[in-house]
Amino acid sequence: MKIVITGGAGFVGSNLAISFRKKYPEYEVVVFDNLKRRGSELNLIEFKQLGIEFVHGDIRNPEDLEQLGDFDCMIEASAEPSVMSGLDGSPAYVINNNLTGSINCFNVCTHAKAHLIFLSTSRVYPISLIENANYIEETTRFSFTDEQALAGISSKGISEQLSLDAARSFYGTTKLAGELLIKEYCEFYNIKAAVTRFGVIAGPRQMGKTDQGVVTLWMARHFWKKSLSYIGYGGTGKQVRDILHIEDLVALVDMQVHQIDKFNGHVFNAGGGLQGSASLQEMTAICQEITGNKIDIASVAENRPADLRIYISDNTRIETEIGWAPKKTAKNVFEDIYSWIKDNETSLKPLLS
């Protein structure tokens, strides 16, 4: 099998490439990336050592993708992942990369008659519907209640039943548009595709920033004793996300690559779930426990654009229909990130400290 991973030098892509190469040494694994994200170039050394082919190119340029030739499966992991992208006055970049670029990927899959694994996002769900949901404020977090006016929201989180009829961010809209187009490609060009709406993904190799990769950012700031801020919702740090360990994502994508018929024509949520969720306050406590360091954390009451008080993936459908469920806890994620930073402190300090 020849597997192409777009965005393959990024956090998710590099973990997928290395995992597939080690598990299936007889496979040809090709990484396609423009190396735009700082730190992605660090993965090229290990790619070379493992015999993973690297193709330098940009999904926005169809000519670059033509270098790939024939292949059996594409894992499309090349999106600009920041929900803040496009909110600075111009959405051109995020639309061009996440939508036009994805269409170029769909086209080469069609020509190669290859399967498509599309990494979508929980951000396809509308902000206003989630923000207006009923919740309670607990000691360290906000939590959804089971009494809701809309289907698709419960104490378990957000399910695939939630309406998509409202604004969600340019990032979320480009990914949703990609999902809709995939239905057309499957129907009229006979490709098979797996579409998954992932929540927050975290683990080793993630270059954390304030707008994307907050789990790594939180651990890195504690590791190097740098300050942080609780931003929004009164500055209490009670906003919540579920956290999916990258290894659990890799296990799911492995299933999708080898059992595409189970996923074709369906869309699933996949995240850490309620058991794998944590508030910023709770993340701080975990980081303090692991590192032994206590840092200054400022309080900023005002919300950021497109932020959410709570997002938790309700995994009921994928657990019931597919049999996949996350195995790692939120604490496991932080422990593994800590070990990765400690083992690579010299090279990571300029990027993360």
Per-residue pLDDT of 21-31, as tens digits, reads 999 999 999 99
pLDDT score for 42:
87
pTM confidence score = 0.95
CATH 3.40.50.720 boundaries in the chain: 1-125+168-198, 126-157+203-244+272-353
The one-letter code for the residue type at 142 is F
- Contact in structure between 270 and 200 (CB atoms under 8 Å): no
Q: Is the pLDDT of residue 209 over 80?
A: no
pLDDT score for 57:
97
pLDDT score for 353:
80
- Contact in structure between 65 and 285 (CB atoms under 8 Å): no
Apex 243 CA angle, 327 and 146, nearest 5: 95
| CATH architecture of residue range(s) 126-157+203-244+272-353 | 3-Layer(aba) Sandwich (3.40)
pLDDT score for 40:
86
Question: Which residue shows structure tokens 């999902």?
Answer: 179
Beta strands in 15-137 (DSSP E): 28-33, 53-56, 73-76, 115-121, 135-137
Tell me the average pLDDT across 58-86.
94
**29/14 Cα distance (integer angstroms):** 11
| CATH architecture of residue range(s) 1-125+168-198 | 3-Layer(aba) Sandwich (3.40)
**279/308 Cα distance (integer angstroms):** 12
Per-residue pLDDT of 134-183, as tens digits, reads 999 999 999 999 999 999 999 999 999 999 999 999 999 999 999 999 99
pLDDT score for 28:
98
Q: Is 194 left (phi over 0), alpha (psi -120 to 50) or beta?
A: beta
Apex 169 CA angle, 166 and 173, nearest 5: 75
| Closest C-alpha to 157, from 305, 283, 277, 332 | 277
Q: What is the DSSP letter of 303?
A: P
DSSP conformation letters of 192-251? -EEEEEE-EEE-TT----SSS-HHHHHHHHHHTT--EEEESGGGTS--EEEEEEHHHHHH
